[in-house]
Amino acid sequence: MENVKQHFESEAQEFDGIIRRLIPYYEQMLDAIVAAIPFSPSQVIRVVDLGCGTGTIAKRIKNTYPHAQITCVDIAEKMLQIAQTKLGKGEDIRYQLANFEEYEFDAVYDVAVSSLALHHLVNDSDKIKFYKQIYASLAPGGLFFNADVVLASNSRLQERYMEQWREYMLRQVSLEEIEEKWIPQHYDEDHPSPLMSQVEWLREIGFVDIDVIWKYYNFSVYGGYKPSIE
């Protein structure tokens, strides 16, 4: 995770622009997460954003739910500094400089979200363990949704996923940059798991009403809810 931290620190100022050049329909991904939150905008909801980056999804949630109390967790200090410029320093926003994998959930949350972060967990067992921690931190009726890079269910389809991703990036990034920087970095730092496996893990942990609410080849938004009464 240290090399991931280093590149996020070095790219923090350019991150928002980079992510929109590399991630297909990024705005739609974020909109899908916010739309999945079932609470009234007038409610006070407790939110944790795991691997918050520059605070983009947290800002969208705050815009829709102005009374939300949000905890932003990220491993990169410079990312959190940018998040703070977007969200401000109010008592209802808390910033935690931490590797989200080691974050000690010190509160109960109504909403847990993550965007393009959890694929940095190396092993399936690491992801399952973290999903369990998220589930335990949620209040009854709370929800978790993750926008992330995922694997296909088979190698043939995975090849197609990668082709589509390259085609998207080529609209705004040179082939040389894709082949010499972004694809090697993906294989070096990213550890996505099959989407369908992750859906099953959530079910086994206890999440209900699990769904894939947005998908474009190897990018997806998926999650579920903690039962209101256990």
The 10s digit of each residue's pLDDT in 96-152 is 999 988 898 989 999 999 999 999 999 999 999 999 999 999 999 999 999 999 999
Answer whether residue 11 shows pLDDT above 90.
Answer: no
Per-residue confidence at 7, pLDDT binned at 50, 70, 90? very low
Structure tokens at 91: 């008592």
Answer whether residue 218 shows pLDDT above 60.
Answer: yes
Domain count of the fold of the chain: 1
Answer whether residue 13 shows pLDDT above 60.
Answer: yes
pLDDT of residue 181: 78
- Give the amino acid at 191: H
Domain extent for 136: 1-226
> What is the rounded average pLDDT for all residues in the chain?
91
Answer whether residue 8 shows pLDDT above 70.
Answer: no
CATH of the domain at 150: 3.40.50.150
Answer whether residue 185 shows pLDDT above 80.
Answer: no
- Of 158, 153, 162, whose CA–CA distance to 212 is shortest? 153
Q: How far apart are CA 5 and CA 99, in angstroms?
A: 9
Q: How far apart are CA 88 and CA 83, in angstroms?
A: 8
Q: How far apart are CA 207 and CA 83, in angstroms?
A: 29
Structure tokens at 177: 């940059």
- Read off the pLDDT of residues 53-86 as tens digits, 9 standing for 90 and up: 999 999 999 999 999 999 999 998 998 999 999 9
For residues 56 and 33, is the Cβ–Cβ distance under 8 A? no
pLDDT of residue 229: 74
pLDDT of residue 144: 98
- Edge-first strand listing for the sheet containing 69-74: 93-97, 69-74, 46-50, 109-115, 138-149, 219-225, 208-216
What is the value of pTM for the model shown?
0.91
pLDDT of residue 12: 64
Stretch 145-174: mean pLDDT, rounded? 94
Q: How far apart are CA 116 and CA 8, in angstroms?
A: 12
Stretch 44-53: mean pLDDT, rounded? 96
Question: How far from each other are the two terminal CA atoms of the chain, in whole angstroms?
Answer: 35
